[in-house]
Amino acid sequence: MKVVILGAGLMGRAIAYDMTQNSDVKQIILADKDFDRAVQVAKLFSNKVLPIKFDANDLVESSKLMQNCCIAISAIPYFCNFGLAKAAIEAATAGRIDLPEPDECGSSAGGQGRGAVERLPPLQSAAA
């Protein structure tokens, strides 16, 4: 299975970690506007993770990126999601996941969902 993760920040990094733990996932494309950050994050994980530079405002590029993937997961700011949903439809992506804006989840989540991020090695260790 091929997975595309849009965004290499803390959420994208946690998603990449989870995806590397799944034996069904054979390739993970980690796309971010900051290529150096995508490279740093990819180095933390297995060779399944391929970093690429990505502009979420370019819907043609977004659609091409999501072609032939099983799942595209958006871990970038919510205001990009409408365009990315259109790009996923154009690409006939099998599945697409948006992460909700914090207000949609409620502000008192009690720290839920932070466990995976806290277990990950810090980015600085990638340069060492």
Structural domain spans, the chain: 2-101+118-127
pLDDT at 111: 43
Distance from C-alpha of 88 to C-alpha of 108, rounded to nearest angstrom: 32
CATH T-level fold of 2-101+118-127 = Rossmann fold (3.40.50)
Task: Specify the DSSP class assigned to residue 49.
Answer: E
pLDDT at 86: 79
pLDDT tens per residue, range 44-84: 998 899 999 999 888 888 888 888 888 888 888 777 777 78
Structure-model confidence comparison of residues 108 and 71, the more confident one:
71
Edge-to-edge strand list for the sheet holding 27-32: 49-53, 27-32, 2-6, 71-74, 95-98
Q: Is the pLDDT of residue 94 over 90?
A: no
